[in-house]
Amino acid sequence: MLQMMEKAGKENSNNCGFQLWQQHNHPILLANQQMMHQKLNYLHNNPVETAFVEKPEDWLYSSAKDYCTGKKGMIDILLIDPMIITY
């Protein structure tokens, strides 16, 4: 993995060495509650899709625990209406 980060860092002139995160930004207007929930579901499912965890709420730094179980996660969040959250 270190080799992959080093390669990505060398390919990007904004870096001095390694790169872990993507450096581009594409803002998305969350025009309605349905779009907001779609993006929240996407964020919660990323660790599942990459096979880091089996369930979204198992990811340590995710707000999915707050939404799925009603228990407090590691990060302080403001819950949005959880009526549309689906996994």
Note the pLDDT of residue 83.
Answer: 55
**Total tally of structural domains belonging to the chain:** 2
Note the pLDDT of residue 57.
Answer: 92
Note the pLDDT of residue 46.
Answer: 93
* Residue 15 structural domain: 1-25
Note the pLDDT of residue 53.
Answer: 94
Regarding whether 10 and 39 lie in a shared domain, the answer is no
Distances (CA, A) of 73 to 31, 41, 70: 27, 16, 9
Residue with tokens 């930004």: 25
Regarding whether 41 and 15 lie in a shared domain, the answer is no
In a structure prediction context, what are the per-residue pLDDT tens digits for the chain, which is 87 residues long?
788 878 887 887 777 787 766 677 778 888 888 888 888 899 999 999 999 999 999 999 899 989 888 888 888 888 876 555 555
Regarding whether 78 and 41 lie in a shared domain, the answer is yes
